[in-house]
Amino acid sequence: MRFVQLKAKKRLVYGAIVFIWIAIPAFEITMACLTTDIVKGICAPEGVYSSHAVEQTAHFFGFFVSYMLPLSLMVFCYSSLAYALRPKVKLRL
């Protein structure tokens, strides 16, 4: 039973890593394409947001996908590693 749980956790972690590596570039490329326009050979900002609330939501989603999602995955991985190694490590004071 323990092996099945470990295998499921591995699959979940690998899936999250793959999702992050695909989602962040896709989001950044999409945002760059939607918010810029080429005018006379110069890249210029384009007002694509219909309201300030939509703009704030897009920025929050960008922050979440680019920063909070990878951070939470790293915290989860390191805490799992520390939890697994805890019984095997003796601290000397």
Mean per-residue pLDDT for 34-43? Answer: 69
93 falls within a domain: no
Beta strands in 12-60 (DSSP E): 36-39, 42-45
Look-up: residue for tokens 């099945």?
4
Look up the pTM and report it.
0.49
* 46 is a domain residue: yes
- Segment 20-30, tens digit of pLDDT: 778 777 877 77
Supply the range of the domain harboring residue 46: 2-88
Indicate whether 39 belongs to any domain: yes
Q: How many domains does the chain have?
A: 1
Residue 11 maps to a domain: yes
Domain-embedded: residue 48: yes
Buried b (16+ CB within 10 A) or exposed e, 1-10: eeeeeeeeee
Instruction: Tell whether the model's pLDDT for residue 68 goes beyond 70.
Output: yes
HSE value, Cβ hemisphere, 13 Å, CA-based, for 19: 10
Distance from chain centroid for Cα 37: 27
Residue 22: inside a domain: yes
User: Is 34 inside any structural domain?
Assistant: yes
CB 65 within 8 A of CB 24: yes
Q: Is the residue at 68 inside a domain?
A: yes
Longest Cα separation, the chain? 68
